[in-house]
Amino acid sequence: MKKIISYLIGKLAGAGFSFSIFNLFNMLNGSIFDMYQFSKNVSSPLYWVAFFGYGLICSIVIDLIVNKVSNKGNSTKVILYLVAGFSIFFIFGFSIFTIIAGTIGAFAALLFYFGTMIANKTPVFKYIFAFAMPILFLTIINVDFTEKQQWSEVKNDTSYSASFDLFNGEQKIPINAKEGQTISVAVDINNENGGGHGQHVLNEKGKLLPMYESTDDYIRFKAESTGVYNVVITGDNLRGSFFVDWKIEDL
């Protein structure tokens, strides 16, 4: 049992090492380091499933194949890791995108393999990348890195407005609604410096809700159940102001 646990921790270390390098590359790839955007990238469920789900399963399967079918050792493993990392993207079809994504996936798979190799030789490395680094990333996900400068807001029962010198992150505007009600939201953003911005709606569980436009410049969504819905305004190094107003309609 101890050997099995140690073996699985080694696999977790490989996943954690590959995941850490991948995120470090994403962090350094931008021209400006943006902790808010970095935390959003890290929070993507797809990344966690790819490294700690698909990667973990493939690594175990590769070990079984090499141990039962082949005795060529490391060279066979390297090839199988490359194939596993590259081929998964062909579920999206064959295109330049899948080739680029597959190449990145193959590189990530190699990092996974080298991570497990190092973990088997270095216990400190094993526990850092199996536990400490994933916990660090989970902590980052749960921290709000929104940056605001000279923020001034006014809110009442059916509207919210804010002006600012800098807005980088998100602002949630809660709206109470009953099941079946339709909420119509109008968003007016004054962009003074060409910064990025956007908006979306989340339910109480943080799930993105579909919205549809109406003929009176409102965006509408329907309350799935009674509770609090958040209209989320996002800014990317934005200076200016925004105004949000809404109305709630019964069926």
For the cut 90, the answer to whether the pLDDT of residue 71 exceeds it is: no
> What's the pLDDT score for residue 215?
61
Residue 31 has pLDDT above 60, yes or no: no
pLDDT value at residue 15: 97
CA distances from 123 to 87, 119, 131 (A): 32, 6, 12
**2-29 and 133-141 helices, crossing angle to 10°:** 50
Residue 30 confidence (pLDDT): 64
d(CA 35, CA 27): 8
The per-residue pLDDT for 56 is 96
Answer whether residue 79 shows pLDDT above 90: yes
Helices 74-87, 55-68: crossing angle, 10 deg rounding: 140
Q: Is the pLDDT of residue 81 over 70?
A: yes
- Tens of pLDDT along 85-115? 999 888 888 889 999 999 999 999 999 999 9
Q: Beta strands of the chain (E only): which ranges?
A: 147-149, 152-155, 159-177, 182-191, 196-202, 212-213, 219-222, 227-249
What's the pLDDT tens digit per position in 239-248?
Answer: 999 999 999 9
What whole-number distance in Å separates Cα of residue 42 and Cα of residue 65? 32
Instruction: For residue range 192-207, list pLDDT tens digits in order.
Output: 999 999 999 999 888 9
Q: How many CB atoms lie within 10 A of CB 32?
A: 7
| Single pTM value for the model | 0.86
Domains of the chain: 2-141 (no CATH), 147-249 (2.60.120.380)
Q: Torsions phi, psi of 20, nearest 5? A: -65, -45
Find tokens 């989970």 and name the residue.
138
Mean pLDDT in residue range 51-75: 86
**46 C-beta neighbours (distance < 10 Å), count:** 8
CB atoms inside a 10 Å sphere around CB 251: 7
String of b and e for 152-183 (b: at least 16 CB within 10 Å)?
eeeeeeeebebbbebbbbbbebebebeeebbb
pLDDT tens digits for 203-241?
Answer: 988 899 988 776 667 889 999 999 999 999 999 999 999
Dig out the tokens for 250 from the structure.
């019964």
What does the pLDDT read at residue 218?
Answer: 87
Q: For 116-171, write each residue's pLDDT tens digit.
A: 999 999 999 999 999 999 999 999 999 999 999 999 999 999 999 999 999 999 99
